[in-house]
A and B are shown apart, each in its own frame.
Chain A
Amino acid sequence: MLEFTQQLINGLSLGAIYALIALGYTMVYGIILLINFAHGDIMMVGAYVGFFSISLLGSNIIVAMVFAMVTCALLGVVIEKVAYRPLRNSTRIAALITAIGMSLFLEYVTLYFLTAQQRVYPASAFPLHKYEIAGLVISNKDIFIIVSAVILMIILQYIIKRTKTGKAMRAVSLDQEAAVLMGISVDNIVSITFAIGSALAAAAGVMIGLYYNAINPLMGIIPGLKAFVAAVLGGIGLIPGAMVGGFLMGILETLVSGYWSSMYRDAVAFGVLILILLIKPTGLFGKNTGEKV
């Protein structure tokens, strides 16, 4: 029982990170029905920006995170304008292929300029403290990640539910044509969505850098895919779904490593995806809208 609870705790911080990335996926999909393959790589860029902010500018972790979030928000907007907007009216396959291309582009440009060498977040940026409660170990990093993730999600919910922009975002994702008739600038809303999603991914990237210490140009691929699975699991296009899905995936992954074998972690993640797509493609929180399958 103790071990199980420890595994659960281990899974929570991983889950928080997946949840943040999944939010970006789900928001973009909800708005323009695109699986932004490059999302995981935006997370990677965020991790690098955070790294350089700490090591070159000497900023503390919060400043680094904010800086990364702002940079990636801009990056997300640029990517959308350059690569995805021209394909707004093309087939979804064309957009998906372009997203794959963008993902590869981000990875290999980073590789080209920064080499394959991993970068290490200085331990001084966030000195580690372990806490032991009733035989369970939790560190201040765990707490920081989980708390920050929850705070960001609360802020996001506020934006979506209580602001005019949020209302516009919901309108566009419900019915794009009607939204245009209502005078909403779809282009702007899409840009804002990308900005917010990318900012969240950047935060996740900094957290990964902080938590695992080392970052490299290809770090975004697998977490990106798993976060996508999380978004689908919760219900793609649904924000609460992405949050719950993220935590579930994190916990599932840790349990699989703990009780079965860590070798099958990735396969299980994809297995979950396929099961969901076959059984309930709209996800845990999704309603049947008919079109998808």
Chain B
Amino acid sequence: MQDKKRTWGKFILEVIFLVALFTLVQYFITTGILNRYYQINLTLMGINVILAVSLNLINGFTGQLSLGHAGFMAIGAFASVIMTTMLEYPFIIGIIIAMLAAAVAGFIIGVPTLRLKGDYLAIATLGFGEIIRVVLQNIDYTGGPAGISGIAKMTTWPVLFIAVVVTIVVIVNMINSSYGRAIISVREDEVAAEIMGINTTKYKVLAFVVGAAFAGLAGALYAHYFYIIKPETFNFLKSFDILVMVVLGGLGSTTGAVIAAMFITVLNAFLQEYAAVRMIIYALILIIVMIYRPQGLLGNKELTRKSFDRIWGGKHVSSANK
């Protein structure tokens, strides 16, 4: 009984915290304390967080190395723009269509490729990502290689904030559900999972589709802030960028993905003067992390209430929760 009260209490505190944080940043933006430069990077951060968390679902939790994530982002971006700029629907419709389109693409690509293992899967997804890019480059309706520009700026701080929170909440909840446990079992030992009666293909595809949908969301947000989208923006280098974040944060840790995404965004901003070095640093991150700490910064641990309590010595009810 006492537990439940504490739970509700904590919950309300968290909601208050979220609201406070949101309002604080909104205030900074409105009064101009956070100028354009910080706004741009804040938006980039939010988009990167969504990308990293969604890729982590596929690469980290399901253990399927997908190298074509930028392709889903592209589909989401273009789909949303077609909705808002060409067909003049409101932004929310654009976002929904973006996520649906990306999810459908995830399904179409996932079903055949998820039968493959390991490196073959990786290369196949890379190939699909490139095919998406080339096809987009050849469609005149979407502007060919020059893409579409002059997109209205609809990604505001409230929209971004809600999108990031929703992404994290949905994916974390998914991981903690029976779906999530099935997905993790696929990663740990696919053969054993099959024997236990888990339809591994179904769950792999599920993770793929959900990950793709959120990449589509990121694409829609991106398009409606940076107002120009070209197929070239979503090439395999972009997929590698996202991979670096996920690897750094820890394949299998949502918190890690979030932190790494933010860190990389900030690092990118710092390296503006030395951009030639930026990619070298990313390359070294991939190599060094893989050799010396393949579990990344956080491994597959998350920062949870348990770990907070452990650090600050509070009491907690023991649970099987990780």
Contacts and interface: CB of A to CB of B under 8 A. Distances in A.
A–B proximity contact (CB within 8 A): yes
Interface of A: 33-35, 83, 86-87, 90-98, 100-105, 107-109, 111-112, 225, 228, 232, 263-264, 266-267, 270-271, 273-274, 277-278, 281, 292-293
A76 to B, nearest CB: 16
Given A108-B276, A281-B120, A102 B287 contact: yes
Given A273-B124, A274-B128, A104 B279 contact: yes
Contact of A104 (B126, B282, B294): B282
10 contacts: A33-B119, A90-B294, A93-B118, A101-B286, A101-B290, A104-B280, A105-B287, A263-B138, A267-B130, A277-B123
A93 B65 contact: yes
A100 B243 contact: yes
B284 to A, nearest CB: 7
Nearest to B63: A93
Nearest 5 A/B pairs, CB to CB: A101-B286, A270-B127, A104-B283, A105-B283, A101-B287
Contacts of B276: 108, 111-112
A266 B290 contact: no
B122 A96 contact: yes
B193 interface: no
Given A97-B65, A270-B126, 18 more contacts: A35-B119, A83-B287, A90-B290, A93-B118, A96-B65, A97-B286, A98-B287, A100-B286, A102-B283, A105-B287, A112-B276, A112-B277, A228-B123, A232-B123, A264-B134, A271-B131, A274-B127, A293-B115
A87 B126 CA distance: 22
Candidate in B67, B277, B291 with the most chain A CB atoms within 10 angstroms: B291
Specify the main secondary structure of chain B where it touches its partner.
Answer: helix
Contacts, number: 116
What bracket does the count of chain B residues touching chain A fall in?
Answer: 35 or more
A273 B113 CA distance: 11
Contacts of A97: 65, 243, 247, 286, 290
A100 B240 contact: yes
A270 B285 contact: no
Contacts of B233: none
Contacts of B169: none
A228 B126 CA distance: 12
A105 B280 contact: yes
Given A87-B290, A105-B284, A264-B134, A96 B115 contact: no
Interface of B: 63, 65, 67, 112-113, 115-120, 122-124, 126-128, 130-131, 134-135, 137-138, 240, 243, 247, 276-277, 279-280, 282-287, 290-291, 294
Contacts of B284: 101, 105
B119 A267 contact: no
Contacts of A104: 240, 279-280, 282-283, 286
Contacts of A267: 130-131, 134-135
A83 B291 contact: yes
Nearest to A265: B134
Nearest to A33: B119
B59 to A, nearest CB: 8
A270 B125 CA distance: 10
B113 A274 contact: yes
B123 A273 contact: yes
A103 B279 CA distance: 11
B116 A293 contact: yes
Nearest to B67: A100
Contacts of B112: 274, 278
B124 A274 contact: yes
A111 B279 CA distance: 10
Contacts of B126: 225, 270
A91 B117 CA distance: 12
Given A93-B63, A293-B116, A98 B282 contact: no
Nearest to B121: A277
A47 to B, nearest CB: 20
B108 to A, nearest CB: 12
A111 B112 CA distance: 37
A98 B294 CA distance: 10
A115 to B, nearest CB: 9
Contacts of B138: 263-264
A264 B139 CA distance: 12
Nearest to B132: A267
Given A267-B134, A273-B123, A98 B280 contact: no
B259 to A, nearest CB: 19
A76 B131 CA distance: 30
A34 B290 CA distance: 15
A102 B135 CA distance: 29
B283 A101 contact: yes
A210 B137 CA distance: 30
Contacts of B115: 278, 293
